Amino acid sequence: MGFEWLEGPLEQLAAPEKGSIAIGPFGSRMKADCYVEKGVALIRGTNLGRGRSLSGEFVFITREKAIELGNANLKPGDLVFPHRGAIGEVGIVPDDGRRYALSTSLMKITLAFNQGIPDFYYYFFRSIKGQSELLKNASQVGTPGIATPLKSLRECIVPLPSFVDQVNVVAVLRCLDDRIDLLRQTNATLEAIAQALFKSWFVDFDPVHAKADGRAPEAVDAATAALFPSEFEESELGPIPKGWRARSLDSVATYLNGLALQKFPAESESEFLPVIKIAQLRAGNTTGSDRASAHLKPEYVVHDGDVLFSWSGSLEVEFWCGGDGALNQHLFKVTSDEAPEWFYYLATRMHLPEFRRVAASKATTMGHIQRKHLAQAKVAVPPPEVLAAGTKIIEPLLGRRITNSLQMRELVQLRDTLLPRLISGKLRLPEATEAVEAVLA
């Protein structure tokens, strides 16, 4: 590798059988009343966009209905694309033993064996050049759509490297993606452990119940067990451990709302802070974000490891790990002078289902909560020595989670830097491999 590959239309790589390039069924053939509890999984646009793997919830149709759909049935390795809505997304049908079919808004291609590797062309269509090919015939008026989707898919200009070169490129990029996936799975486990421990100690009060029943608390050493009382007392939260206090979230932590950052424009093209809105919080990065002044008050500047809470739209509580940025309105930056970060993070997350219920009940286009809901949300706050014991156990779990997220960011940046050069043949494979090994080391 070290030169640019030949290019040609995608249809050159299609499998020779009929229907290797196909579109999902027309709307009249696929309505909600076709869905059943289990059967053939129907891939929709909402199942794409979170990496190579399909994700999210599926709807199902019967095998008999799937047979009626003909070429809309899918094989493992098929590439699937929306032709309406989220144009530019791409996914690969997994070989997991489940049957899949296209929804009305998707199209697919089955690649010819030993000519096109699905993973290689997945990565191509995730690159800037691949995205431009998918979008070049899309209309952005109203709901984005492609008037002639199959013609547009066939005519996408793609690189045509040898099968061996495709294998080598995929090996490098898959190495990075596999590491990213592993870190993501590890973070989910760390988060689950931290939440379970918080719930046991500070919501269900398991150690206190155990001592009240004359039992030794489970999974707690003697020194830590001695910190918990063996009695309860009444509070506005209900029975809580004796000596603890029921307090509102907004009395434990400060929930700082962001600024209307259009009033604080960037000083120049080189001096700015990326704006962190709800979309950036959900994505975990500031790619494509707006720009704001680099001279905001320090409290409105977000750093890695800060706790952010989107209180309208999509309600989320997350550790921010996307680099320095500016706090936009509709986001709280949560801090505290008295409680450790892990405590107010997990306490806020504990109330997230109720906050979402409140937001969903709002008769507005964008559901939200108000500050009064923070005041109404209560948490049992223990004495300092119990918080210190919790810090010894929970803080390392969430600290590792943040460290993993920062490493994921570095790996994503490396992958996205290598991707366009690898996928075009401009970058020699040994150079790419060396760069990956340096980061993984």
106 token code pair? 């998707």
Contacts 24+ apart (CB under 8 A), 181-190: 181/51, 183/404, 183/405, 183/407, 183/408, 183/411, 184/408, 186/404, 187/401, 187/404, 187/405, 190/397, 190/398, 190/400, 190/401, 190/404
Average pLDDT over residues 75-102: 94
User: Tell me, what's the pLDDT at 352?
Assistant: 96
Between the ranges 45-54, 194-203, 411-420, where is the mean pLDDT highest?
194-203
pLDDT 10s digits, 250-259: 999 999 999 9
User: Tell me, what's the pLDDT at 365?
Assistant: 62
Q: What is the band of 160 on the pLDDT scale with cuts at 50, 70, 90?
A: very high
pLDDT 10s digits, 318-349: 999 999 999 999 999 999 999 999 999 999 99
Is pLDDT above 80 for 30?
Answer: no
Single-letter amino acid, residue 381? V
Is pLDDT above 90 for 221?
Answer: yes
Task: Compute the Cα dihedral for 367, 368, 373, 377 and give only its sign.
Answer: positive
The helix (run of H) or strand (run of E) holding residue 3 is none
User: Tell me, what's the pLDDT at 28?
Assistant: 55
Residues 390 and 137 sit within 8 Å (Cβ to Cβ): no
| Nearest alpha-carbon partner for 314 in 359, 272, 274 | 359
Is pLDDT above 60 for 166?
Answer: yes
What share of the chain has pLDDT > 70, as a percent? 98
Q: What is the band of 27 on the pLDDT scale with cuts at 50, 70, 90?
A: low
